[in-house]
Amino acid sequence: IDNMKLPSFVLFILVCWSIPAQSVMTLDQALQIAMENNQDIAIAEQLVRIEQRKVFKGNAGLTPTVRAYAGGEYSQNNLVFELNNFGENSTQTQRISEDLAFSMSHNAGIRLDYTLSNGGRGKHQLQQLQNLADLSTLQLRLTVENTLLNVTQLYLGVSSLEQTEQLLTQNIELSHQRLEQAEIDKKYAKSGTLSVLRARTDLNTDSVSLRNLQRDLSNTKERLLRLLNINEEYAFSTVPVLNPDKLPELDQLRTYTLQRNVQVLLAKQGVFIEEQQLKIDASANVPQVDVFAGPSFLRQDYEVNQIRSSQTIGPTAGFSVNYLLRDCKKRQRTQEIQRMKIVAYRQEQ
């Protein structure tokens, strides 16, 4: 052997020694990191918290509201007052009119409002808020499952490429040995130039395959690290994942899919939401009765000769009734669309 050449196994050891140390990451560790770091999961979890905070009676109009108010108004109007005479002829009235009279009013008070009846709309709205919160939980579950599935696929891809890299590295080592042996045989006239060229071709082919594979391995690792929200320069290696010894039966998979599959559960939840919305819209067919009560103050000042001001203070109470007579088929069309959505969701189950 040429004295200027180092033995191939020494070169292999030096190359391996020059590679920086890598951390070993198992599949379970990758999945745990994804649960803690993935941005999509974090956003979905925040949306669940937001929807859950919306579920309370006050947000569905089932509790009274109390508000304080105050205001003032300045106007110039034609005023007409009719006053009873308190003299001998008390049946007669005195009429006072003033054109373009200035008036100024001030009011303040505290008012309690409560919807006494609206066809159960508040109860249905509260249930709808809970349905939407449940929907966000299912969407979080879907996000988690998709993320973990992507992590698993990328992890297995990295593991497969690493194993292939080891095989190609071993092939290159063998190609080096064959090339060295071919050069030795040529030197001692045991073989010709063709054997050396063939050995070099095999070595170049294996080297090109290794470089291409290492490029794919680097890209796959970067995708996995981005999914895990880790610095893309983090060096790691994987642990081979063994295949399960026995797969579940087809009937078991079908039963599990119907009971636990998130897409099926999302379709069922979609039916619940649209059916609840139909109940909310149907409540508009019933008149809404609102009541209110509270203390109030009102003072009005006039620039009229006989009358200077009027003032009222004390409790006030009342009610109002509202009923939608016509909405140009808006509610009818909305209900038709909701029924169509229900049919579509049931077809997905």
One digit per residue, pLDDT tens: the chain, 349 residues? 344 344 444 433 444 444 445 689 999 999 999 999 999 999 999 999 999 999 999 999 999 999 999 998 888 777 777 766 666 556 667 677 777 778 888 899 999 999 999 999 999 999 999 999 999 999 999 999 999 999 999 999 999 999 999 999 998 898 888 888 887 877 777 667 788 888 888 889 989 999 999 999 999 999 999 999 988 788 888 888 766 555 566 676 667 666 678 888 899 999 999 999 999 998 888 999 999 999 999 888 877 666 778 888 989 999 999 998 888 888 888 888 888 888 888 887 6
- Helices (DSSP H) in the chain: which residue ranges? 8-18, 27-37, 39-53, 121-187, 193-228, 250-260, 262-282, 330-348
227 Cβ neighbours under 8 A, 6+ residues apart: 34, 38, 147, 150, 151, 154
**Confidence (pLDDT) at 208:** 92
pLDDT in the model for residue 305: 67
Residue with the two structure tokens 């009734």: 321
CA distances from 217 to 11, 32, 170, 239 (A): 23, 22, 17, 15
Instruction: Please give the Cα distance from 92 to 95 (Å, whole number).
Output: 10
- Contact predicate 283/124, CB 8 Å: yes
Burial class of residue 155 in the structure, from the number of CB atoms within 10 Å of its CB (0-12 exposed, 13-18 middle, 19+ buried): buried
Write the CA distances from 114 to 108, 121, 289, 346, integer angstroms.
20, 13, 9, 38
Residue 17, token pair as written in the block: 């020694």
CA 147 to chain centre: 14
Q: What is the DSSP string of 109-144?
A: EEEEEEEEESTTHHHHHHHHHHHHHHHHHHHHHHHH
CA distance 140 to 134: 10
Closest among 247, 245, 40, 234 to 149, alpha carbons compared: 40
